[in-house]
Chains A and B, each alone.
Chain A
Amino acid sequence: MSAPVQELPLWLDVLLCALLVVGAFFALVGSWGLVKLSDFFKRLHGPTKATTLGVGSALIASALYFGWQGSWSAHELLITLFLFLTAPVSAHLLIQAVLANEPKHRPPLPGRKG
């Protein structure tokens, strides 16, 4: 591994560490929810929110680090933006896939008793 080019100041170090910890924590919780939860709709909840948040934190930490090193690039921000845009779309498509697959998952219509 290559040595860091420039020493980070303390505030940036703490900020990057916090982003990294938050990112890894959320990614882990999202995948743990994917394993642990019982129903597909509960399982969908974990990765869509937690993983996007976690990956977003990791990407922003990377952007800040390389920005401080003087080799700033828009790639990380582009990836973050793209993930934030596509995560709801893919979640919606997955829900549609489940509803098309098994109509018993469909919730009852409102206003109809029994």
Chain B
Amino acid sequence: MMFFTLLPWAIGLFVVAMLLTTWRLWRGPDLSDRILALDTLYINALALLVLVGVWQGQQFVFEVALLIGLLGFIGTVVLSRFVIKGDIVQ
């Protein structure tokens, strides 16, 4: 099957994408660049996890991916609010 020969390459491309994002997280001249890089990083990690799950034939990774999505979004919102307001809860 073509799909399973292609799958490791797609996983590798997602890893390269995550490395590029990590570079921006490291460099990022501004705080908002770093928040954006973290946002992209968790979305890429989610996709990478799902593809590895398909590769291994494991389905429990989808619950983990759902959790990553939820918590990552909350993290982005909290960090942005912290930059905007200077406080998380008021």
B16 partner residues in chain A, CB cutoff 8 A: 28, 31
Binary per-residue interface labels of chain A (33-47) against chain B in the complex, 1 for a CB within 8 Å, 0 otherwise: 011000010011001
Residues of chain B lying within 8 A (CB to CB) of residue A93:
76-77, 80-81, 84
Interface string of A64-82 (1 = CB under 8 A from B): 0110000101011011001
Taking CB atoms, residues of chain B closer than 8 Å to A20 are 3, 6-7, 10, 51
B residues less than 8 Å from A25 (CB atoms): 13
Kindly list chain A residues whose C-beta atoms are within 8 Å of the C-beta of B89.
none
With A17-B2, A100-B84 as contacts: A94 and B39 at CB distance below 8 Å? yes
When the two chains form their complex, are residues B10 and A47 in contact, meaning their CB atoms are under 8 A apart? no
- Whether B24 contacts A35 by the Cβ 8 Å rule is yes
- B2 engages A13 (CB within 8 Å): yes
With a CB–CB cut-off of 8 A, which chain B residues contact A66? Answer: 54, 59
From residue A55, how far is it (CB to closest CB) to chain B in Å?
4
Q: Report the contact-size class of chain A (Cβ under 8 Å from the partner).
A: 35 or more
- Measured between C-beta atoms, what is the minimum distance from A1 to chain B in Å? 5
A selection of 24 A-B contacts at a CB cut-off of 8 Å is A1-B55, A17-B3, A20-B7, A27-B13, A27-B44, A28-B20, A34-B40, A51-B17, A51-B43, A61-B54, A62-B50, A62-B54, A83-B43, A83-B69, A90-B39, A90-B76, A93-B76, A93-B77, A94-B36, A94-B39, A97-B32, A97-B80, A101-B31, A101-B83
Chain B positions within 8 Å of A, measured between CB atoms, are 1-4, 6-7, 9-10, 13-14, 16-18, 20-21, 23-24, 30-33, 35-37, 39-40, 43-44, 46-47, 50-51, 53-57, 59, 62-63, 65-66, 69-70, 73, 76-77, 79-81, 83-84
Could you tell me which A residues sit within 8 Å of B by CB distance? 1-5, 7-8, 13-14, 16-17, 20-21, 23-25, 27-28, 30-32, 34-35, 40, 43-44, 47, 51-52, 54-55, 58-59, 61-62, 65-66, 71, 73, 75-76, 78-79, 82-83, 86, 89-90, 93-94, 96-98, 100-102
